[in-house]
Structure 1
């Protein structure tokens, strides 16, 4: 709220305030279950709309003006797969919209020039972290992002290998959506920029109580005694969509956090796997917060990549106890089965899900993957640990990975997922010289100090693109 006040004071002519980054972990009571109330933002201003997206991207917190100008009322029909939270005691809207209901609120539109400016800044940030290749997710309103990358490449300013993914949703016609993705695939076919992937969302997030689970949420989640969350697709539609995407020669990338969602996704992928002739689509499921043990081996059987975000895989202060454990109970101790995936021979590719991870530094994630403990206490507002077995933030140390496994997950496994393992991802004769030089040997470093690793130099195609001061 203070940040919004400051922004309005600095921009008195602003017609709207948009931001992102609030955390469920600081909330209590009904706010933890539904999200923060609109009245908090109304106290800042009711004159212009305020729209603030949660750091996870799955909930909008808005003031009354934002609801008013977008025509959202207590009688608004809730879109399938969405949630409009209500204050039942007063018969009013609460001020938060989750999942597909978020699209009832207009978000800012940006020009091509603004996208180029943003992408140029983002590229510099990635180079500081030693990153030279990304999978870039987009939906229809943000397709200008690919045009920005294209313009940068034409001007010899693009120094990232961008593989694009376009969202396919259950609410719109599949045929027209796939036709649009194919158009983008045909339009962007350069070595640096390609659209190769269809992105699906099959559930939401634990903190929003929108993940789809095999067993009900805890009663403390405030959703009743028999609430499992929502699966966002009809199974027959999902099966047909997966088959159609693979038949077009494109990769499938699925957001799935709940164990119930992941089981259904694997069922649909199995359908497509046995119906298509090729087996090399490298279909991917990402996040994988809860996975039933019986489903783990299916990843290998179906050649499915496990895309993980190790940054999150410890008991976050002001988060795990307040959110995950409260909503899941003892199941929260089984979250993020990283070591299990590696032990079973599944291809694991690590990523940040930026901007859900505000600081997408791979060495923070390698630290957490190896220790299953907090990476950098200062970043989380607490003191740092001196022992990787410190119990305060340790999450199921049986799921620890090795340093080698974590490095591969950020290099050759990521390259494989993007169909680029023949060109990048390892240092070999004949490959492109995308290289990073760091200030220490991770194989001999105390694992709790891996987060302190500094990138000294980053090379893109043999060209120095970053050098530390």
Structure 2
């Protein structure tokens, strides 16, 4: 799915053009105001710097925008630019150059796809792919190295699982990484083994590094190609801002260069990946809350508590319902993860921790409860990324501690085929529990976790409102009691996503003084049946008053 989208957008990368004082006229406009209420408008004016001067009726806006040029959108719907609060920008761009397994529906089909890709790319030292999901294949088990050997017998091969928390490698990759029967599971990771103790070819979470550390690093040219490809996709999907969940020194350097050159056509709120060497280098001068007119920011840190539900790496308090021998994996002991969080907090960074299982979420909530007494700065707005399966007793702690749940609606509709089997009927009540969080007054920051899921925010809103996948399954909605209203879903991809990046005063809605980030769509989001929300198409995307995408 992401690969097809990327290919379709590859030619859509547009560097910023010149600013002009402009009025967008004849719009069927919707935005939220500062109070989160939905308001309508006909016209939108912005100045030569790309900041909004006026929003409202045609007459009111014209009175404040004498001499401005006019662009007639002919009654089409105009919305604030959409924000994805959790994605992986370079990963999205890299999908285009790897084997695409997101659409594979069987093991045999996946093996054929990899074999075809390997044959078409004889010069690649490694054969790399993304997107496999053994649950869709209905294998009842993970695939094996020998099965991947059938596709790639002559060089190492590595296929990332759809959730990014497990890799499937062939025998050549296992040998190159030095993984043998004697290799111990690393902290926070698991080497899947057969009855004799031999590695089967599946490495979960922390064990993935055993192989990824011997992968050849990307060249700068490849990184630039990935960034430009990703920006093209983001523009086509109406995303004017994204939160990049985990970057290092190389990515930061590229982001700044693109921002300086006017080529960063989607705003990026970046999180430093972990608190190791890259953090030490990037944090030497403290957080970077804004750069190049709010196009870039680097003032958050991304950490991991556990793995994913599909690979049973998510840490649960009690054993998995469908695998009673395992609780999943916490990546770190309590003191270790708390030490990482404290290092970031002490340096003034927002801390955003990936936690999927109820055990992972509890560990991080406990850590916040301890650390916030020492570092009480509420303006940092710390987050838990995913907050996917949370013990019912722990959900109120998000509100009490002021922790933002950063959630991805399409995860629920993608996981419906296995989530309840994993955690059972009681724990599922605290899983993907958007209504429960909203009812207690939390702001949810919505994203997609692209390229794991589609970057299309309208598909995210569709999942949030209908609790159905894009095929309309299940007909009644999966645990529909946790659905959002359309206004709530719209808000979590705009104003509340901006709030989670401490940017609600500059983006997230169309109000005077904010940046003119907006999209023009092919249908009225607020006048179509719920089942059509995911079909809304973007015709134009504008960032700071500059058109960066046109269909």
**TM-score, normalising length: structure 2:** 0.75
Count the aligned residue pairs.
Answer: 436
The correspondence for 2:534, drawn from 451, 455, 461, is: 451
Counterpart contact for 1:243–1:275, Cα < 8 Å: no
Match of 2:496 among 410, 413, 422: 413
Alignment match, 1:24: 134
Quickly say closer, same or farther: Cα 1:147–1:178, change in 2 above 3 A.
closer
Please give the root-mean-square deviation of Cα atoms over the aligned residues, in Å.
2.1
Query: Is residue 344 of structure 1 aligned with residue 440 of structure 2?
Result: yes
1:11-410 matches, within 5 Å, as 11-28=121-138, 31=141, 35-88=142-195, 90-105=196-211, 106-138=214-246, 140=248, 143-168=249-274, 178-183=279-284, 189-190=291-292, 191-218=294-321, 220-221=322-323, 223-224=324-325, 227-314=326-413, 316=414, 320-321=416-417, 323-331=418-426, 333-334=428-429, 335-357=431-453, 359-374=454-469, 376-377=470-471, 384=472, 390-391=475-476, 394-410=477-493
| Offset, 1:434 | 0.6
Moved more, 447-456 or 3-12: 3-12
Structure (1 or 2) with the larger CA radius of gyration: 2
How big is each residue's C-alpha offset from its partner over 1:335-358, in whole Å with a ceiling of 9 and x where there is no partner? Answer: 20011111111010100111111x
Once the two structures are superposed, residues 352-387 of structure 1 have per-residue CA deviations (whole angstroms, 9 ceiling, x without a partner) of 111111x2111111111111122x21xxxxxx46xx
Gap change, CA 1:129 and 1:28, over 3 Å in 2: closer
Contact in 1 for aligned 2:118/2:152 (Cα 8 Å): no
1:178 shift after superposition? 4.3
Q: Structure 2 regions of 5+ residues with no counterpart?
A: 1-110
Q: Secondary structure at the match of 1:207?
A: coil
- What is the alpha-carbon distance in structure 2 between the residues aligned to residue 186 and residue 338 of structure 1? 31
Cα distance change on mapping 1:91 and 1:302 into 2, 3 Å: closer
**2: CA distance, partners of 1:390 / 1:277:** 45
Q: Could you tell me whether the CA contact under 8 Å between 2:246 and 2:301 is conserved in 1?
A: no
Q: CA deviation at 1:139?
A: 5.0
Change in Cα spacing, 1:178 to 1:121, as seen in structure 2 (3 Å) is closer
- Give the match's secondary structure for 1:280: helix
Counterpart-to-counterpart distance in 2, 1:437 and 1:29: 43
Say which structure, 1 or 2, has more relative contact order (CA 8 Å, 6+ apart).
Answer: 2
* Counterpart Cα distance in 2 of 1:441 and 1:13: 48
Q: Does 2:115 align with 1:5?
A: yes
What is the SS of the residue equivalent to 1:206? coil
Q: More helix per residue: 1 or 2?
A: 1
Task: Tell me, yes or no, if the aligned pair for 1:127 and 1:466 is still in contact at 8 Å.
Answer: yes
Q: CA deviation at 1:326?
A: 2.9
**Greater share of residues in strand:** 2
In 1, Cα distance between the equivalents of 2:541 and 2:296?
A: 20
The correspondence for 2:515, drawn from 412, 427, 432, is 432
Q: TM-score, normalised by structure 1?
A: 0.88
Higher mean alpha-carbon deviation, 119-128 vs 57-66, is at 119-128
Structure-2 separation of matches of 1:178 and 1:117: 25
The DSSP-based 3-state class of the residue aligned with 1:466 is: strand
Aligned equivalent of 2:549:
466
Unaligned runs of 5+ in 1: 378-383
